[in-house]
């Protein structure tokens, strides 16, 4: 008989489970298929902020429970490091950084006693009004897939099981419990699933099913998504757990659909209900065995590995982790406008600086729902600037509620910084009982904020708008009236310190937008936060703008720097199973800076309906003044394929393709070259 011990091989684990399943009663098997906590406990804990939530495990067979905690802004249990939201991190385009954030999250999860991290949120941003936009990384399947994979790598290094969620097509918040999302096969395969596949290929241990329906079936019951695609075609060996507020609707639907674990407690996966369904022949014992095996296998795979370090409480929110939060905030901010190079500010030339806006000096780190990492102290913009400047410059702050007073202050100051945008009331997970979150009705700023910007800008030409939010904010009403705009996101516990360093030029901003900002919301796909049913089309974001030749206010992949980069000598090579793009990037400005080099593949010659171009590679580099780097990005040929619904397979067209490389998705920012495979 095999004993559970550290360092078990996969084969030994399967043999142990064979033995266990032979011995287990039906009730013991069913115990593997549920969380153990009551929902009222979860609500009382205000989400999952106080403790981990356990499930499965077996004392008799020595199998540990899973211990769930949430994210993605960090670990949601009190005291943890609060990072910039995922959307901000997506704007860093820095996968190494995301993996290091994953490392911190993995460590802090373990230090809190957890081993299952529910924070790899990779739903696609189809429309910026989506309330939980901040929890994902952007609008592009390739970008979010790479980020989800990086976070997974980091977290799982610490023997924590990662969860990719919410599978699938979850991108309307208020309607999430009921909406039926319709889409054709190509849209499903090419737009809404590739990022999940990417995380599974990275070894992501578990999946959380979404609340919504896809093609008429709840995702937790969706045998096509769960059994056929995830477990069948992709060969996923881990377990699927439900989302928490009735993510399972009935016993037979869940079990036959391929949902292994009901969370956070059993409502439909109770022993008696499962037994009845079995007796009536509506489910089979094989289904129960498979679910129990998946859960035990995954837990044992992770809990029997040797740890490479100790996970003491001193790790939680430690200095080293805060440093990474600071780096993430610095790397994620996107400079959207900088006329006359008004930024960076020269602290030796300013005597008086005014800072306005309702978010100038309040804690505003994002949503109050399940992603809420509650921290007591954060570096607000005002605190960050004061911390940076000390007493060297007079700082006047005002919440800006009174625009007349704001004008008076602005008149006296050399520079005005206005911090406006959104908070957890405007966007976030929608929890009716707590009256929080939901989708946005309007993509612009609140009227009061616009009034404030216009008032201040009319008196002070050195006016910098700092935007707080988790998704696209339209700016047409006021953007021409101010010289500088910086997208600062919900920037985490160190956000204000990062902002100050950027405003005064210690850090050169290098973030790029992970979504398209429209001039007019009418250019976006149809969105209805109360929809019972909605059709998701093949195009959204930059692929829709490209196809319809709409001009965005600011394109996907766009962001300015305090320096300038020039691109030259684009070349393409097709070798074995890959396409390789190379290009010279030179820093032609006066300061060092980071640039995000992007690679797109164009399908203009396609025989079928395909996007004009798609992101297929990127890298973030640093260049000193005058330095040139030859950048090489490889694209596996298989990443050029499309899903043919007739043959039910991925196919590669034999056509002339275009390879684009440059600094944003805008055609003027890219060099291009043709190639054949
Ligand atoms: C959210 C999930 C979260 C879960 C547990 C749900 O309502 O949709 O994202 O993981 O709660 O906190």
Ligand 1: nearest atom to the Cα of 208: 10
Q: List 354's β-bridge partners, or say none.
A: 396, 416
Q: Are strands 657-662 and 670-675 parallel, antiparallel or unpaired?
A: antiparallel
Q: Helices 194-201 and 141-156 sit at what angle, rounded to 10 degrees?
A: 30
Regarding the beta carbon of 370 and ligand 1, being less than 6 Å apart is answered: yes
Identify the residue whose C-alpha is closest to ligand 1 atom 8.
243
Torsion 433-439-441-444 (CA) sign: positive
Q: Which two three-digit tokens encode residue 330?
A: 């610095």
For 132-166, b/e burial (b = at least 16 CB within 10 A) is: bbbbbbbbbbbbbbbbbbbbbbbbbebbbbbbbbb
Is the same domain home to 480 and 583?
no
**Euclidean distance between CA atoms 470 and 490, whole angstroms:** 7
| Helix, strand, coil percentages for the chain (3-state, nearest 5) | 30, 25, 45
Residue 533 lies in a domain: no
- The pLDDT of residue 2: 75
Torsion 231-234-235-239 (CA) sign: negative
Is the same domain home to 39 and 133?
yes
Has residue 37 got a pLDDT over 90?
A: no
Identify the residue whose C-alpha is closest to ligand 1 atom 12.
370
Q: How much distance in Å is there from the Cα of 44 to the middle of ligand 1?
A: 15
Instruction: For 662-673, write each residue's pLDDT tens digit.
Output: 999 999 999 999
Regarding the beta carbon of 153 and ligand 1, being less than 6 Å apart is answered: no
Q: How many domains does the chain have?
A: 3
Q: How confident is the model at residue 434 (pLDDT cuts 50, 70, 90)?
A: confident
Q: How confident is the model at residue 290 (pLDDT cuts 50, 70, 90)?
A: very high
- The single residue listed with the structure tokens 């019951």 is 221
CB atoms within 10 A of CB 551: 12
DSSP state of 456: H
**Euclidean distance between CA atoms 617 and 640, whole angstroms:** 12
Has residue 1 got a pLDDT over 70?
A: no
CATH of the domain at 421: 3.40.50.1700
Has residue 263 got a pLDDT over 90?
A: yes
Ligand 1: nearest atom to the Cα of 264: 5
Q: How much distance in Å is there from the Cα of 121 to the middle of ligand 1?
A: 10
**Euclidean distance between CA atoms 268 and 447, whole angstroms:** 47
Has residue 624 got a pLDDT over 80?
A: yes
Residues 6+ apart with CB under 8 A from 628: 584, 585, 586, 587
Q: How much distance in Å is there from the Cα of 37 to the middle of ligand 1?
A: 14
Lowest mean pLDDT among 183-197, 285-299, 365-379, 511-525: 365-379
- The pLDDT of residue 310: 97
**Euclidean distance between CA atoms 647 and 324, whole angstroms:** 47
Closest alpha carbon to 259 in 227, 289, 284: 227
Is the same domain home to 507 and 615?
no
- The pLDDT of residue 50: 82
Q: Which two three-digit tokens encode residue 178?
A: 């009921």
Is the same domain home to 47 and 147?
yes
Q: How much distance in Å is there from the Cα of 118 to the middle of ligand 1?
A: 8
Q: How confident is the model at residue 3 (pLDDT cuts 50, 70, 90)?
A: confident
Instruction: For 590-618, write each residue's pLDDT tens digit.
Output: 999 999 999 999 999 999 999 999 999 99
Percent of the chain with pLDDT over 90: 95
Residue 426 lies in a domain: yes
Closest alpha carbon to 128 in 666, 486, 525: 525
For 466, half-sphere exposure in the C-beta direction (CA atoms, 13 angstrom radius) is 28
- The single residue listed with the structure tokens 């802004």 is 73
Is the same domain home to 111 and 228?
yes
Instruction: For 524-559, write each residue's pLDDT tens digit.
Output: 999 999 999 999 999 999 999 999 999 999 999 999
Is the same domain home to 239 and 383?
no
Which residue in the list 54, 94, 243, 260 is annotated as catalytic?
243
For 342, half-sphere exposure in the C-beta direction (CA atoms, 13 angstrom radius) is 20
Regarding the beta carbon of 243 and ligand 1, being less than 6 Å apart is answered: yes
For 5, half-sphere exposure in the C-beta direction (CA atoms, 13 angstrom radius) is 7
Q: List 208's β-bridge partners, or say none.
A: 241
Instruction: For 73-122, write each residue's pLDDT tens digit.
Output: 999 999 999 999 999 999 999 999 999 999 999 999 999 999 999 999 99
Residue 347 lies in a domain: yes
Distances (CA, A) of 575 to 300, 578, 597, 634: 41, 5, 21, 10
Residue 646 lies in a domain: yes
Question: Radius of gyration of the chain from Cα atoms?
Answer: 25
Regarding the beta carbon of 70 and ligand 1, being less than 6 Å apart is answered: yes
- The pLDDT of residue 47: 66
Identify the residue whose C-alpha is closest to ligand 1 atom 9.
370
Q: How much distance in Å is there from the Cα of 117 to the middle of ligand 1?
A: 11
- Containing structural domain, residue 380: 317-513
Identify the residue whose C-alpha is closest to ligand 1 atom 6.
244
User: Which helix (DSSP H) or strand (DSSP E) does residue 373 occupy?
Assistant: none
CATH of the domain at 608: 2.60.40.10
Q: What is the mean pLDDT of residues 20-43?
A: 90
CB atoms within 10 A of CB 218: 25
DSSP state of 189: I
Is the same domain home to 256 and 330?
no
Instruction: For 641-661, write each residue's pLDDT tens digit.
Output: 999 999 999 999 999 999 999
**Ligand 1 pocket, mutate which of 49, 50, 243 (most atoms under 8 A from CB):** 243
Instruction: For 368-388, write each residue's pLDDT tens digit.
Output: 999 999 888 999 999 999 999
Is the same domain home to 192 and 125?
yes
For 652, half-sphere exposure in the C-beta direction (CA atoms, 13 angstrom radius) is 12
Identify the residue whose C-alpha is closest to ligand 1 atom 3.
370
Ligand 1: nearest atom to the Cα of 42: 12
Mean pLDDT rounded to a whole number for the chain: 96
User: Which helix (DSSP H) or strand (DSSP E) does residue 145 occupy?
Assistant: helix 141-156
CB atoms within 10 A of CB 561: 23
Instruction: For 208-234, write each residue's pLDDT tens digit.
Output: 999 999 999 999 999 999 999 999 999
Taking a C-beta distance cutoff of 8 angstroms, is the pair 672, 618 a contact?
Answer: no
Identify the residue whose C-alpha is closest to ligand 1 atom 7.
244
Residue 580 lies in a domain: yes
CB atoms within 10 A of CB 503: 28
Q: Which two three-digit tokens encode residue 32?
A: 């593997």
Q: How confident is the model at residue 459 (pLDDT cuts 50, 70, 90)?
A: very high
**Ligand 1 pocket, mutate which of 70, 173, 373 (most atoms under 8 A from CB):** 70
Q: How much distance in Å is there from the Cα of 248 to the middle of ligand 1?
A: 13
**Euclidean distance between CA atoms 169 and 592, whole angstroms:** 40
Q: How much distance in Å is there from the Cα of 661 to the middle of ligand 1?
A: 38
More confident residue, 432 or 178: 178
**Ligand 1 pocket, mutate which of 55, 212, 369, 437 (most atoms under 8 A from CB):** 369
More confident residue, 3 or 289: 289
Is the same domain home to 455 and 330?
yes
Ligand 1: nearest atom to the Cα of 47: 12
Regarding the beta carbon of 118 and ligand 1, being less than 6 Å apart is answered: yes
Where does residue 571 rank: exposed (0-12), middle (13-18), buried (19+ CB within 10 A)? Answer: middle
243 is catalytic: yes
What would the DSSP string read from start to end of 284-310? -HHHHHHHHHHHHHHHHHHHTSPPSS-
Q: What is the mean pLDDT of residues 409-423?
A: 97
Taking a C-beta distance cutoff of 8 angstroms, is the pair 422, 131 a contact?
Answer: no
**Euclidean distance between CA atoms 507 and 561, whole angstroms:** 10
Ligand 1: nearest atom to the Cα of 121: 9
- The pLDDT of residue 46: 63
Ligand 1: nearest atom to the Cα of 166: 9
Is the same domain home to 477 and 338?
yes
Q: Which two three-digit tokens encode residue 596?
A: 């995000």
Residue 272 lies in a domain: no
Residues 6+ apart with CB under 8 A from 24: 58, 61, 292
Q: How confident is the model at residue 432 (pLDDT cuts 50, 70, 90)?
A: confident
CB atoms within 10 A of CB 370: 26
CATH of the domain at 170: 3.20.20.300
Instruction: For 112-159, write each residue's pLDDT tens digit.
Output: 999 999 999 999 999 999 999 999 999 999 999 999 999 999 999 999
Is the same domain home to 419 and 331?
yes
Residue 542 lies in a domain: no
Is the same domain home to 104 and 245?
yes
Residues 6+ apart with CB under 8 A from 593: 508, 510, 561, 562, 563, 565, 587, 622, 623
What would the DSSP string read from start to end of 51-85? S-EEE--BTTTTBPPEEEEE-SSS--STT---PPP
Residue 550 lies in a domain: no
Q: How much distance in Å is there from the Cα of 359 to the middle of ligand 1?
A: 27
Domain end marker among 513, 547, 581: 513
Q: How much distance in Å is there from the Cα of 327 to the middle of ligand 1?
A: 27
């Amino acid at each position: 008989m095999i004993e559970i011990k550290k360092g078990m091989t996969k084969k030994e684990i399967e043999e142990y489970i064979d033995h266990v399943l032979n011995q287990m009663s039906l009730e013991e098997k069913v115990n593997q298929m549920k969380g153990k906590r009551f929902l009222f406990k979860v609500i009382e804990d205000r989400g999952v902020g106080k403790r981990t939530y356990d499930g499965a495990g077996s004392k008799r067979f020595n199998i540990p429970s899973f211990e769930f905690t949430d994210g993605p802004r960090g670990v949601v249990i009190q005291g943890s490091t609060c990072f910039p939201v995922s959307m901000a991190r997506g704007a860093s385009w820095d996968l190494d950084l995301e993996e290091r954030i994953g490392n911190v999250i993995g460590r802090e999860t373990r230090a809190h006693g957890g081993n299952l991290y529910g924070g790899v949120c990779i739903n696609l941003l189809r429309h910026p009004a989506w309330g939980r936009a901040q929890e994902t990384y952007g609008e592009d399947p390739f970008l979010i897939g790479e980020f989800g994979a990086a976070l997974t790598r980091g977290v799982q290094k610490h023997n924590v099981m990662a969860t990719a969620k919410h599978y699938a097509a979850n991108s309307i918040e208020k309607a999430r419990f009921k909406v039926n999302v319709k889409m054709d096969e190509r849209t499903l395969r090419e737009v809404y699933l590739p990022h999940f596949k990417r995380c599974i290929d990275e070894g992501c241990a578990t999946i959380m099913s979404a609340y919504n329906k896809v093609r008429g079936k709840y995702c937790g019951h969706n045998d096509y998504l769960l059994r056929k695609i995830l477990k069948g075609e992709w060969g996923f060996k881990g377990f699927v757990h439900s989302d928490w507020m009735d993510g399972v609707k009935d016993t037979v639907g869940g079990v036959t659909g391929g949902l292994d674990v009901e969370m956070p407690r059993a409502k439909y996966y109770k022993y008696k209900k499962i037994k009845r369904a079995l007796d009536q022949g509506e489910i089979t014992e094989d289904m129960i065995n498979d679910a129990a095996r998946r859960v035990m296998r995954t837990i044992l795979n992770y809990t029997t590995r040797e740890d490479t370090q100790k996970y003491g409480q001193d790790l939680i929110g430690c200095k080293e982790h805060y440093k990474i939060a600071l780096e993430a905030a610095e790397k994620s901010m996107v400079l959207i406008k900088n006329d006359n190079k008004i930024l960076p500010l020269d602290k030796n030339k300013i005597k008086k600086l005014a800072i306005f806006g309702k978010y100038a000096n309040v804690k505003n780190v994002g949503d109050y729902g399940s992603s809420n990492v509650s921290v007591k102290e954060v570096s607000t913009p005002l605190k960050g600037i004061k911390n940076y400047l000390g007493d060297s410059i007079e700082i006047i702050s005002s919440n800006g509620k009174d625009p007349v007073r704001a004008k008076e202050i602005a008149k006296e100051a050399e520079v005005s910084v206005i911090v406006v945008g959104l908070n957890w009331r405007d966007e976030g997970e929608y929890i009716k009982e707590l009256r929080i979150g939901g989708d946005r009705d309007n993509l612009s700023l609140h009227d009061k904020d616009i009034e404030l910007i216009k008032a201040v800008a009319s008196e002070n030409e050195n006016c910098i708008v700092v935007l707080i939010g988790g998704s696209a904010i339209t700016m047409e009403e006021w953007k021409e009236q101010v010289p500088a705009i910086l997208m600062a996101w919900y920037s985490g516990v160190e956000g204000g310190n990062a902002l100050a360093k950027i405003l005064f030029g210690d850090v050169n901003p290098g973030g790029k937008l992970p979504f398209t900002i429209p001039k007019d919301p009418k250019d976006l796909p149809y969105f209805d936060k109360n929809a019972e049913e909605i059709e998701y089309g093949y195009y959204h974001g930059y692929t829709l703008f490209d196809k319809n030749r709409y001009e965005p206010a600011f394109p996907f992949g766009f962001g300015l720097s305090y320096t300038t980069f020039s691109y030259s000598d684009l070349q393409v090579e097709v070798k074995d199973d890959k396409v390789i793009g190379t290009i010279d990037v030179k820093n032609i400005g006066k300061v060092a800076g980071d640039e995000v080099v992007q690679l797109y593949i164009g399908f203009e010659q396609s025989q079928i309906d395909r996007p004009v171009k798609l992101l297929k590679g990127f890298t973030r580099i640093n260049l000193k003044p005058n330095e040139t780097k030859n950048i090489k990005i490889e694209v596996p040929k298989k990443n050029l394929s499309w899903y043919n619904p007739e043959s039910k397979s991925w196919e590669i067209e034999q056509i002339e393709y275009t390879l684009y490389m440059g600094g944003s998705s805008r055609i003027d920012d890219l060099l291009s070259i043709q190639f054949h495979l």
